[in-house]
Amino acid sequence: MHTRRDFLQKLTYTALAAPLLSAAQPLTFLNSNHDTYNGPVLRVAIMGLGGYGTRVAQAMELCKKAKLTGLISGTPKKVQQWQAKYNIPDKNCYNYENFDEVRDNPDIDAIYVITPNALHYEHVIRAAKAGKHVICEKPMAINAKEGEDMVRKCKEANVKLLVGYRMHFEPKTLEVVQMRRNGDFGKVHFFQGQCGFRIGDPNQWRLNKDLAGGGALVDIGIYAINGARYMLGEEPVWVTAQETKTDLVKFKEGVDETILFQLGFPSGALAACLSTYNMNNLDRFFLTGEKGFAEMQPSTGYGPIEGRTHKGKLTHPHVTHQTLQMDEMAAIILEDTNPIITVDGEEGLKDLKIIDAIYKSCKTGEKVTLAL
């Protein structure tokens, strides 16, 4: 029987130099027989105590290398509730006006920014100026210009900037990546990513351009963008895209409902992807090559990922994604480890450049060249 502890220890990855996988790099899992962890622990303040912040906090209760020690929120009632649940002292609680004071708090090493997309830029830079490492939810920013500035400001502050790409640590996902690197699919020709759902409350921040910075593409389509890159193991060189909008009341100007987009890669491989706020039963990745295929559905959801390849079913046991993510990110920050698929600010910036290009192609109807 595999215990959660055994599994986490098997997911300590070898240090790799390049941000994306290449054929020259071995992908290995290191086994350890140690049952206890006595190393450094990353002390994290969560900024934004909403639904996803709650999910991350709950997952961190199972972490060995990361611990919730601080709270940042504009809602005092939420802070009080979280304080009681997670035993957070008053001195480690802040609001959006005074959280710069965290610079003087030795109980907090990093801030996890889980606020609406359009606020990421300000919050990340302020956290960096306070001398704290930053984990930022995706999309890292609302455009590449902001992303470039965030990367630069974090480097200038000598703090690490990581992006919440939880799928980069998910075992079944990594199993498919390993198969591709091992040549099990042969030359890979095609990737398909279908990401979306029917969105509910029309008044939520995700449908407010001033807070979301876009629509389905930045929220859910980014999984297909990022997935195409790590599944194929190369960077796209062009993009074409088409937008469809059926509800002009819910999806106002600047908030996309459905976008089809295509990516071209140096090897000749193609990706065809769907991003939508108006269809259910999606969340599917498909990869095919000369020798075989991989299919995952669900491919990016919070629950267990399910999938199969031409060799059979993907069998790694499910572990809460955010628990794996936070333990591995703690190791990146405190031990300077390198994950198999990078999660740094430069990785987030590449996705933002692609998003900018997709929106440009939708507007112009033309193929847009990419230089990542």
pLDDT digits (tens, 9 = 90+) for 46-98: 999 999 999 999 999 999 999 999 999 999 999 999 999 999 999 999 999 99
Residue 7 covered by a domain: no
pLDDT digits (tens, 9 = 90+) for 236-274: 999 999 999 999 999 999 999 999 999 999 999 999 999
Where does the pLDDT of residue 35 fall: very low under 50, low under 70, confident under 90, or very high at 90 and above?
A: low
From 145, 163, 181, give the residue that closes a domain: 163
Catalytic residue among 121, 165, 223, 359: 223
Checking if the pLDDT of 40 tops 90, the result is yes
Do the domain assignments include residue 32?
no
Q: Is residue 198 part of a domain?
A: yes
Task: Give the domain-ending residue among 111, 134, 163.
Answer: 163
94 is catalytic: no
SS3 per residue for the chain? CCCHHHHHHHCEECCCCCCCCCCCCCCCEECCCCCCCCCCCEEEEEECCCHHHHHHHHHHCCCCCEEEEEEECCCHHHHHHHHHHHCCCHHHEECCCCHHHHHHCCCCCEEEECCCHHHHHHHHHHHHHCCCEEEECCCCCCCHHHHHHHHHHHHHCCCCEEECCHHHHCHHHHHHHHHHHHCCCCCEEEEEEEEECCCCCCCCHHHCHHHHCCCHHHHHHHHHHHHHHHHHCCCCCEEEEEEECCCCCCCCCCCCCEEEEEEECCCCCEEEEEEECCCCCCCEEEEEECCCEEEECCCCCCCCCCEEECCEECCCCCCCHHHHHHHHHHHHHHHCCCCCCCCEHHHHHHHHHHHHHHHHHHHHCCCEECCC
pLDDT-derived band at 36 (thresholds 50, 70, 90) equals confident
Q: Is residue 65 one of the residues assigned to a domain? A: yes
Question: Both 48 and 185 in a single domain?
Answer: no
> Do 204 and 280 have their domain in common?
yes
- Do residues 244 and 279 both lie within one domain? yes
Q: In terms of domains, do 221 and 294 share one? A: yes
In a domain, 172, yes or no: yes
Which residue is catalytic, options 65, 138, 160, 172?
138
Model confidence at 363: pLDDT above 90 = yes
> What's the number of domains the chain is made of?
2
CATH of the domain at 276: 3.30.360.10
Q: Are residues 176 and 245 in the same domain?
A: yes
Q: What percent of the chain is predicted at pLDDT more than 90? A: 90
* 159 lies in the same domain as 213: no
Range of the domain at 235: 167-319+344-369
* CATH number reported for the structural domain that contains residue 127 in this entry: 3.40.50.720
* Same domain for 225 and 158: no
**Domain membership flag for residue 173:** yes
Average pLDDT of the residues of the chain: 92
- Has residue 120 been placed in a domain? yes
* Catalytic-residue membership of 138: yes
* Domain identity same for 234 and 295: yes
Together in a domain, 123 and 171: no
Last residue of a domain, one of 134, 163, 192: 163
Residues 191 and 268 in one domain: yes
Say if residue 135 is in the same domain as residue 263.
no
Domain-located, residue 327: no
**How much is the pLDDT for 161?**
98
pLDDT tens digits for 170-217?
Answer: 999 999 999 999 999 999 999 999 999 999 999 999 999 999 999 999
Q: Which residue has the higher pLDDT, 5 or 75?
A: 75
Residues 284 and 216 in one domain: yes
